[in-house]
């Protein structure tokens, strides 16, 4: 419940935005470079065809830009809502106070673009948004960097930017804390725009390259936060499919079956053979006959590489949860229940194994491989805006429904990844899935030899890092 003074402030704010409604299009055109970048990044963050709610929608241009299947914009300025309805008749707009939010429906994405500072009680607004969220809903927040307050005020005074009333200038820690108080957790953050005006060549250099340099990125005008609802969750008994890509791993087939423990609901094991020459397919067939009580299948690759094997296995999988287990068994199969528990309880939506926490067995990873892994972990943590300590651990776990969304959006990245790890990592990041890592004790091989070629594969990884920059950062 709000008091008299709050209602008075709300009335003043509403009247202010009603007066600005007539000139809003003028100001958007004047700041077109900023708004175009904002729309471009929101289109990157939000796939087409989702149910999207925008709080403080203004003229509705941003909501229209993300191409929702169901788009609802709300704003407490009736003048703004009337203008938005004229501009975008295919979308729905309503004029009411977010403090009285009562929609009786849920959305895939909720947008709060440049409005956080205008709320009298941000925590209360965020708590109200929980009523229109599911565990899969993403809150996407953009706000001005508080370091830019003097520059923004100066631009308003000079008539370069739409004038607004006094607002709260929130820091990243403020945003994180307010989300935490409302039982949301941050999935990832990003900073954009060192130069919010178009200057030929200069703007491109500053905004497409220097804006992403660690340290300099803290000076960017626009900060973006993607968050998801947090709360008590109960693990269901999900079925699982364990995909085991294998090439010349005959001696590891039966040990893998014996060592995979029972967990969750029904379990399916898919071996995907990649043109083995040591009798691996025959050994898999023998093991299938030896363990008739287990649901084991053999698939033969048409293409080459682990990435192709993973995609073939996932395409044939029937489990609710998809898991990758490398056939070399350097990741102990006994640890798979940890991955299951992490995803079934929704602690994360993309579970990545991490070999770099616990000490490894003596020959489990060569020194140069270890250095490469540490370098690429830093590079990909920066690329994905989520902490990834070990990008190259073969064990990755996600819901089949999320993988299908990654596959549906694969055209954005293309078929670039022979390993399979980065196709999943990039795809999960594009869909704003919450990534967490499960530490494992990396063990020596007991059969066969590695298929990793350090320098050739290292060069491929470097090229994928550069490619990822242009598809995930400089968009």
Q: Got the DSSP string for 294-354?
A: SEEEEEE-SS-HHHHHHHHHHHH--SSEEEE--TT--S-GGGHHHHHHHHHTTS-SEEEEE
Q: Is 449 helix (H, G, I), strand (E, B) or coil?
A: coil
222 DSSP β-pair partners: 144, 192
Half-sphere exposure of 396 (CA within 13 A, CB side): 27
| Rounded distance between C-alpha atoms, residue 223 and residue 225, angstroms | 7
pLDDT (0 to 100) of residue 1: 44
Closest CA to 441 of 354, 362, 337, 343: 354
Half-sphere exposure of 218 (CA within 13 A, CB side): 5
> Which two three-digit tokens encode residue 371?
């250095």
Residue 81 burial (10 A CB sphere; 0-12, 13-18, 19+): buried
Q: Which residues, given as ranges, of the chain have pLDDT below 50?
A: 1
**CATH of region 4-229, choose from 3.20.20.70, 3.40.50.150, 3.30.300.30, 3.40.50.970:** 3.40.50.150
Domain limits, the chain: 4-229, 240-473
pLDDT (0 to 100) of residue 398: 97
**Measured CA angle at 267 (ends 264, 272), to 5 deg:** 135
pLDDT (0 to 100) of residue 5: 57
Q: Which fold has domain 240-473?
A: Spore Coat Polysaccharide Biosynthesis Protein SpsA; Chain A (3.90.550)
Q: Is 210 helix (H, G, I), strand (E, B) or coil?
A: helix
Asked whether 391 and 341 are in contact (CB, 8 A), the reply is: no
pLDDT, tens digit (0-9, with 9 covering 90-100), for 395-407: 999 999 999 999 9
Asked whether 248 and 215 are in contact (CB, 8 A), the reply is: no
């Amino acid at each position: 419940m709000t008091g008299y003074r709050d209602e008075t402030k709300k009335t003043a704010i509403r009247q202010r935005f009603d007066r600005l409604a007539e000139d809003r299009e003028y100001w958007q055109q004047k700041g077109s470079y900023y708004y175009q970048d904002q729309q471009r990044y929101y289109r990157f963050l939000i796939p087409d065809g989702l149910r999207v709610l925008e709080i403080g929608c203004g003229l509705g241009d941003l909501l229209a830009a993300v191409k929702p299947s169901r788009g609802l914009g709300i704003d407490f300025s009736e003048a703004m809502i009337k203008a938005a309805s004229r501009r975008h008749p295919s979308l729905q707009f309503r004029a009411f106070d977010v403090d009285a939010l009562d929609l009786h429906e849920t959305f895939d994405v909720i947008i709060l673009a440049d409005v956080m500072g205008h709320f009298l009680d941000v925590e209360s607004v965020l708590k109200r948004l929980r009523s229109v969220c599911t565990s899969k809903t993403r809150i996407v927040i953009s706000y001005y960097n508080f370091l830019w307050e003097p520059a923004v005020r100066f631009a308003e005074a000079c008539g370069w930017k739409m004038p607004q009333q006094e607002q709260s200038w929130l820091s990243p820690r403020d945003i994180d804390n307010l989300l935490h108080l409302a039982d949301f957790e941050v999935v990832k953050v990003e900073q954009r725009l060192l130069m919010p005006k178009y200057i030929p060549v200069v703007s491109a250099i500053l905004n497409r390259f220097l804006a992403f340099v660690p340290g300099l990125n803290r000076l960017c005008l626009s900060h973006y936060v993607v968050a998801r609802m947090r709360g008590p969750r109960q693990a269901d008994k999900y079925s699982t499919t364990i995909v085991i890509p294998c090439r010349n791993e005959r001696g590891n087939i039966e040990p893998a079956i014996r060592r995979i423990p029972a967990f969750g609901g029904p379990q399916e094991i898919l071996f995907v053979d990649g043109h083995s020459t040591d009798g691996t397919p025959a050994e898999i067939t023998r093991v299938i006959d030896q363990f008739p009580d287990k649901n084991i299948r053999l698939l033969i690759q048409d293409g080459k590489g682990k990435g192709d094997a993973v995609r073939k296995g996932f395409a044939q999988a029937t489990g609710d949860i998809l898991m990758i287990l490398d056939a070399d068994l350097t990741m102990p199969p006994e640890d798979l229940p940890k991955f299951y528990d992490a995803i079934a309880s929704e602690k994360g939506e993309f579970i990545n194994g991490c070999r770099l926490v616990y000490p490894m067995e003596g020959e489990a990873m060569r020194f140069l491989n270890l250095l490469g892994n540490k370098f690429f972990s830093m590079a990909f943590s920066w690329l994905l805006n989520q902490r990834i300590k070990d990008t190259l651990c073969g064990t990755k776990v996600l819901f089949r429904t999320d993988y299908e969304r990654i596959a549906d959006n694969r055209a954005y990245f293309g078929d670039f990844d022979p390993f399979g790890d980065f196709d999943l990592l990039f795809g999960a990041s594009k869909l704003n899935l919450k990534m967490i890592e499960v530490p494992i004790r990396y063990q020596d091989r007991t059969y066969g030899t590695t298929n990793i070629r350090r320098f050739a594969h290292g060069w491929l990884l470097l090229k994928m890092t550069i490619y990822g920059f242009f598809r995930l950062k400089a968009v």
